[in-house]
Structure 1
Amino acid sequence: MAAVGATPAAGLMGLGELQLKLPATKAQWLALAAGLGLGLVGAELAWHHPLSAPLALAAWGAVVLLAALFWVKTPVLVLAPLPLVGLAPWSGWITFEEMDLLVTAAGCGGYLAYALQLNARDRAPAWRHGIVYSPAVVMLILALALSTLWSVKRGFADAGGFVFGWFHGYHEAMNSVRNAKSLFLALALLPLWTAAAAARPRGFSRGLLLGLVLALAGGSAAALWERLAYTGLLDFSTDYRTTALFWEMHVGGAALDGFLVLTLPFALLALLRTRSPWRFAIGLGIALLAAYAVLTTFSRGVYLALPLALIPMVMLADAQRRRAAASGPESSHIDSTLGPVDEPLPRLAKLGALAMAGAFALAAALVFGGGGYRGLLALFFVMVALLAMPPSLWLPGFAQRLTALLMGGVLALLLGGASWALSMAVPKAAYVLNVVALLCCAALRWKDAPGQSRPIYVLLVTTSWFWLLATMVIVADYWGGTTGRWTSLAAGLALAGVWAAMLVEPRLWPLQGAGSTGKAGWRKRALLVAGLLLVMAIVAALGGGGYLRDRVASWKEDGQTRLTHWREGLRLLHGGRQWLLGKGSGRFVSSNLYEGPIEYQIGDYRLRTDEAEAFLALTGGKHVLGRGEQFRVSQRIPAPAPGPVTITLTSRTATDAHLVLQICEKNLIYPDHCFSAEPLLKPLRAEGAPEGSPGQWQTHRLQLGPVAALGGDWWAPRFVTFSMALDTRGARVDISRIALQDSQGQQLLVNGDFNREMARWFFSSDRHHLPWHIKNAALHVLFEQGLVGLTLLGSAYLLCLVRLSFGRGRDHPLAPAIVAALIGLGTVGAFDSLLDAPRIGFIFFVLLLLGLGLRALPGEGVARVA
């Protein structure tokens, strides 16, 4: 699409400067048609929103207006809210969702602004276009789109033909649309974003970066809320894996895992490049929040993916900086957003950094094992004081530094002995002495005189730091007894040895360059402190709870289970045609239900009608049923008033069936504080009716509870969910009406008669997840699109990685982060399907399609966006 630019002084024009013009080119007329088409689709979706059509339409219209005013920054509007706008557990929608509303609104507003030349800008010259696709890449993208479209057609055929429905489940035709729509939503925005990257390449790149970083912040904040509400922040023993607000995990999967590996590299890249203190502080906070979310996924795939992804990202970013430094004075520095290129660390400094990191990791494990969280916190302050050491310590001569080191060790030993004796005599004195030693270190750091050689100052600093190290041992001893004393003593000796070597040999000190000049030193130290916190969190997760240790220990058994599951999944492909073209989009779950082994024949629900009256047909799985393996149909409800809850149920059944009715505090798949009723439903047949007939409708009144106060605290609320499940294998119960009334007469359910189809109803399988996913992204594509689709997508994936690592896109500002995101998704995708979660698939295809065309502007050298 041709780009529309701006006059040089335009900037972001104010509302008073807006002006509209009729489309003047073929591209603008096409944009007008696209905007109107997306507008019609989006308005129709908003009008049918199950929660509130007027509110959905108003919100959709507001996004359209924002997209029209800031069409270059539409990536922010689309990507930033993604992890927070999945309302399926409230609405009952799974085929359509709020992401669709965001994309159609952004596309409608953006294309109309482009077509009508709102905030019109002069056309940018071709060399300034930030996204350029070669003819071969265009053909590859079109072929991938045609393959996906063909898989949708095959999915319709496998489902018995196309039937439109607003509330189809995983076995019906519209599930083919749900699984395939991510690519087409990304393609719908691609021409608009190509035009935006041509008009203002830096503005577009900043918008894309900001959108992904804000998305990471939102998703990580949701994970923090979930842990705070349901488990507690430091509980690493409970069998509870974070799901945040990713409803796609209602039947298992790794949606949160995929989201984190796709977005975290962008936050880290921005953190490494920004030179603004307040932006750095915000970015560091987001990165630490995301690190906590990563840790609480307890996902071995994520733990493996992040190092494999982030190491190449750092290397590619470093290569960009080196090319910039070598290309001349004009490009050896970056604009004020990024600041100058830092000099690489010498070899001995890298060795010192590795020694410091290794010593701290070992010390953290030892101290936490004996001294708990308090000992670990004292160790953290020891390391902070170490990282804050001033460069003036190395100005005195070697003999003076060695003397200060030896005398400081002796003095600290005397202070440590006296401190230990005082801690034994006075309760809590260990903590007070630790704080006093820390304050002494801080005061001495404040009294530093840069550029002055002061041997006595070196002695004082060394003595105070060694004393702080001794008080760390005392804190661990006070808290953990003998075990804490000896483990922390070993840790203290290791750290003391590392510091002594660095004081004697200044070339080992990793902060020597930054510390001597004072430029950007605060950034390096802050990043190192963040690294310390991350190591502490990992140590706490491994040492503070057995759940992660158990998951790490069971990798071999789980791997064998995966291999068996992959083989069984591929057996569902019959004949060369299905291997070549796939079985169809969204057909894996249904194929498992009808053709898979009995343990994969899970429960199901269907909406039926009988004499023009709707009812829910609920069936139980044929596998061994436990509380976590039951198939549940649920609805989120307001917290009932404490006391009994009355259930009125109208149902019928052909055989005896145990129906489980529950009210629980539950986010997605981990119920807690449940109150249950489990009636045995028996068939009621008219005289002469054959055995096995559905029976007649019966109305039951049941009491559940008394229910206690539910909903959690105001600062960490818990969702309350009502669910229905069958505890009889292979049984079926038809439900035409169900109502809940609490002790104060409040009606808790909406659409209990199913006259609005499945609006407000949702389903889940809390523990039995393998039947719902093939558990490998490549095999997922193979199953749905065959070898043809897998070859096309694999080619695009590899081409994007090569292009952004070594080709024309390698110097684009976001290239290292996109490469890291794709590597991370590929690693997690080796153990989970991922692309069957639409929001994850959308982010992946956005990055993939943009990566196939992104390029750095000529003459800019390294990236100038962060």
Structure 2
Amino acid sequence: MRHIGTRLVALACFCLFGLAAGAYPMAGTWLPPILVAYAGLLWWRTQLWLPLLPALLPVLDLAPRTGWFVLEEIDLLLLLTAGFAYWRLPPAPAGSARWPWLFRLGLLLLGVALAIGLWRGLQPLPPIDANTFNNYLSPANALRVGKAWIWAMVLLPPLRHATGGKPEALLPGMMLGLLLVSLAALRERWQFTGLLNFSSDYRITAPFSGMHTGGAALDGYLALSLPLLAAWLLARNAPLRQLAALALLPLAWYAALATFSRGLYLALAAALGIIATSLLLRHAARAAAFPALAGAGLLVLLLDAAFRAGGYRAYLPLLGLLVAAILVSRRRLPLMLASLVLLGAMVPIYHGYYLNVRFASVGDDWSTRVRHWQNSLAMMRPGSGLFGMGLGSFPAAYHWNNPRGDQPPRYQFIDHGGNRHLRLVAGHYAAGYGELLRMLQSVSVQPRQRYLLAVDVWNSGPPAFLHINLCQRQLLYPQNCAATPLRQIPTGVTWQRYFYPLDAGPLGGDGLPVKLEMAVEGRRAVLDIDNISLRTVPDDHELLRNGGFSDANNYWFFSSDRNHLPWHIKNLFLNIYFEMGWLGLSAYGLLLFSAVCVLLRRRDAVWLAALLAFQVVGLFDSLLDVPRITLLSMLLLSAAALQAKESPP
């Protein structure tokens, strides 16, 4: 009977995959061959999902190109994963790995909290229209947030079977994912600031489109994955794994330092403290660990003195000499090299202008964060403390009910007279000014090519300014823009067609991504936009897709570059409480406590450091409002809590 049940689950997943793949806009992406290759590998060896899924989850992110963020490419990947895994899922043998009873109690409570939170978040039940699945203000945002928790529970039986109670089975996939994320971060830094420029206030997002409204998806991912490198670095009689860890460590550490995230710095310091303490407490490792750490500390003092005296011209040659000396000596090689990388790489960051600015503003930023938390709690309805306001409900609650009286900008697709168009609504702020919301589409332009931009605009309200630019942009922070003349759009009774000649200038010549962006500005300004076109001159080739918005958000994405508080509570635990109340927070606490107890009994400092580092970042950011981060953290938490047989939590 169990065999029939798992086969029915698999068939349901395959059917849902067919429906989702038919609806998802894959044209012009690499997603079809990726899905075909992934399905072929799972058909050949189903267990391959365990290394492949953690590697693909952080990097397979096409939302900036497709415009879709409720149904995502990872959902297609997960439907295939669940389909193949359940089709070949055998009955659990006696004595197989299982979760402690306290963890299972947490899962039960989480399931109840999730069901209630999903129902509450969907209220009032939204009509299915052009705005249902493309707007954080829609009640359907509950599905976007809730699906990650649901996927985590769906994958628990295959996870239990695939790991066999050994969480290290996830390490190859986590390390591959960390490599890909680190390379994406390095590429972004190289393109937009330069690798050694630590004075710019540019904040990287790497492959995480969920950061288009701010947030700390990259920080949370690095906090979760970077400490796991120590499992390979400290492995005994495993030179290949140690070599791989030493090669990956500088890339990942650079990516972490280049976030300029104070919360991530604190999280990684805590993780390093846990791992170092564990090494010093182990008698067998103490003789190697203490001299390695002390020696690396002295070498860092030398590097700091060199940087102060001669900048990179003195620092880089000395760093090379020290690395060469450690390689020649071959004494405590992995620990000495790792310690030198971790501490030595901090020297130029520490002397950078922007890091000092970040730490100088700690007091003001903390006060802002505390006020935001207080305001967030004040937005909760009376009596919602036990079960919460509902999944995904915070953006809408802030938009309509925040105590500051601000009304952030928003967008909406309007169906009128058989035609669909885009409506942009400017923000209304108590301070009188604030951040713009930008609609974006990736375009491929040629340097010094002339273009003609045309757009239909209707202003039925107060005078408004329309911003339309071509800019180099990864996700946030435009630069080197070719801007149309800023024009005030007067109030009118019908549509007006505007034409803007544009010269791309250097855009498109250096490989940096280019996006067309639109925004509206003005007090209580509302603009209707339709039939936007960007054509080459003189051959009249169209660059934009879905310029008439007949397919709603297809190929259009949005960003809020600087104002992030309307979209995030900025605390993981408050976020759970806001959405699922005390019930959800208690469930998460039970899961975390049970996993920590299991790891302490195993004396597994590496996994303990990774899980706790993630929670430290969560003290300052929501994290769980990004589905792929929620899912990945829950998979690692669940794998860490597995044990060979049931025992007290």
Deviation at 1:56, TM superposition (A): 4.6
Q: Retained in 2: the 8 A contact 1:137–1:852?
A: yes
Deviation at 1:111, TM superposition (A): 1.7
- Relative contact order, higher structure (CA 8 A, sep 6+): 2
Query: C-alpha displacement at 1:388, in angstroms?
Result: 5.8
Q: How does 1:23-38 map to 2 (within 5 A)?
A: 26-38=1-13
Tell me, yes or no, if structure 1 residue 238 matches structure 2 residue 237.
no
1:531 aligns with 2:352: no
CA deviation after TM superposition for structure 1 residue 161, in Å: 6.8
Counterpart position of 1:281:
243
Q: Could you tell me how far apart the structure 2 residues matched to 1:380 and 1:55 are?
A: 40
Q: Once the two structures are superposed, what CA deviation does each residue of 1:685-718 show, in whole Å capped at 9, x if it has no partner?
A: 2xxxxxxxxxx122222223x22132353xxx31
Gaps of 5+ in 2: none
| Partner deviation per Cα, 1:317-342 (whole Å, 9 max, x = no partner) | 787x77xxxxxxxxxxxxxxxxxxxx
1:642 to 440, 448, 451: 448
Alpha-carbon distance, 1:50 to partner? 1.4
* Alpha-carbon distance, 1:257 to partner: 0.2
Look up the match of 1:739: 533
Alpha-carbon distance in 1 for matches of 2:433, 2:555: 23
Matches within 5 A, 1:212-223: 212-223=174-185
Q: What is the CA–CA distance in structure 2 between the aligned matches of 1:857 and 1:210, rounded to whole Å?
A: 27
Q: Which runs of 4+ in 1 moved over 6 A?
A: 161-166, 624-628
The answer on whether the counterparts of 1:90 and 1:762 sit within 8 Å (CA) in structure 2 is yes
Contact preservation (8 Å) 1:65, 1:109: no
**Counterpart in 1 of 2:591?**
796
CA distance in 2, matches of 1:212, 1:644: 45
Q: How far does residue 209 in structure 1 lie from its aligned partner after superposition?
A: 1.1
The answer to whether the 8 Å contact 1:39/1:105 transfers is yes
151-160 or 842-851, larger mean C-alpha shift: 151-160
In 2, Cα distance between the equivalents of 1:568 and 1:640? 47
Q: Secondary structure at the match of 1:580?
A: coil
Residue aligning to 1:703: 501
Tell me the CA shift for residue 762 of structure 1. Answer: 0.3
Matched, 1:86 2:61: yes
Structure 2: how far apart are the matches of 1:628 and 1:247?
22
Which residue of 219, 226, 247 corresponds with 1:257? 219
Max Rg structure:
1
Q: Per-residue CA shift, 1:775-810, capped at 9, x if unaligned?
A: 00001011111111111111211221122212xxx2
**1:472-527, Cα deviation, whole Å (9 max, x unpaired):** xxxxxxxxxxxxxxxxxxxxxxxxxxxxxxxxxxxxxxxxxxxxxxxxx56x3243
Equivalent position amino acid for 2:122 in 1:
F
CA distance in 2, matches of 1:62, 1:378: 45
Same amino acid, percent of matched pairs: 33
Report how far residue 53 of structure 1 moved: 9.6
Counterparts of 1:557 and 1:800, CA distance in 2: 35
Q: Where do 1:323-722 residues align within 5 Å?
A: 343-346=284-287, 352-353=291-292, 355-384=294-323, 387=326, 521=330, 524-543=332-351, 545-576=352-383, 578-598=384-404, 600-623=406-429, 629-654=435-460, 655-677=462-484, 678-685=486-493, 696-704=494-502, 706-711=503-508, 713=510, 717-722=511-516
Letter in 2 for 1:30: G
CA distance in 2, matches of 1:651, 1:296: 41
What are the within-5 Å matches in structure 2 for residues 123-272 of structure 1?
126-127=94-95, 129=96, 131-158=97-124, 167-198=133-164, 205=167, 207-272=169-234
The 5 Å alignment of 1:723-734 reads 723-734=517-528
Counterpart Cα distance in 2 of 1:382 and 1:628: 50
| Structure 1 unaligned residues grouped into runs of 5+ | 1-25, 116-122, 323-342, 391-520, 686-695, 859-866
- Equivalent position SS for 1:36: helix
Q: Give the SS at the match of 2:155.
A: helix
Aligned partners of 1:640 and 1:748 also within 8 Å: no
Residue 844, structure 1, aligned to residue 628, structure 2: no
From the superposition, tell whether residues 679 and 777 of structure 1 become closer, same or farther in structure 2 (CA, over 3 Å): same
TM superposition score normalised by structure 1: 0.70
Structure 1: which amino acid aligns with 2:435?
Answer: E
**Residue of structure 2 equivalent to 1:306:** 268
What's the counterpart of residue 491 of structure 1? none
CA gap 1:386/1:57 in 2 versus in 1, 3 angstroms: closer
| Aligned 8 A contact 2:163 2:170 in 1 | no
Q: Classify 1:194/1:589 alpha carbon distance in 2 versus 1 (closer, same or farther; 3 Å).
A: same
* CA distance 1:214–1:554, shift in 2 (3 Å): same
Contact 1:624 1:729 in 2 (8 A): no
Which stretch of structure 1 is more off in the superposition, 757-766 or 739-748?
739-748
Aligned to 1:772, the other structure's residue is in SS state coil
Q: Separation in 2 of the partners of 1:225 and 1:162? A: 40
Shift, 1:59, TM fit:
3.8
Letter aligned with residue 157 of structure 2:
P
* Cα shift at 1:298: 0.3
Q: Give, in whole Å, the separation in 2 of the partners of 1:286 and 1:626.
A: 47
Q: Distance in 2 between matches of 1:87 and 1:785?
A: 29
| Counterparts in 2 of 1:87 and 1:239: CA distance versus 1, 3 Å | same
Q: Residues 724-803 of structure 1 correspond to what in structure 2 (within 5 A)?
A: 724-743=518-537, 744-803=539-598
Q: Is the 8 A contact 1:664 1:673 kept in 2?
A: yes
Letter in 2 for 1:371: G
Per the alignment, do residues 753 and 351 of structure 1 end up closer, same or farther by CA in structure 2, a change over 3 Å counting? Answer: closer
TM-score, normalised to structure 2, is 0.93
Q: 1:95 corresponds to which residue?
A: 70
Q: SS of 2:79's equivalent? A: helix
Partner Cα distance (2:500, 2:130) in 1: 37
Q: Identify if the C-alpha distance between structure 1 residues 548 and 136 changes in structure 2 by more than 3 Å, giving closer, same or farther.
A: closer
| Displacement after TM superposition at 1:207 (Å) | 4.0
CA contact (8 A) 1:314 1:816 kept: no
1:164–1:174 Cα contact (<8 Å) kept? no
Structure 1 pair 55–529 and aligned structure 2 pair: CA distance change class (3 A): closer
Aligned twin of 1:433:
none
Report deviation, 1:240.
0.6
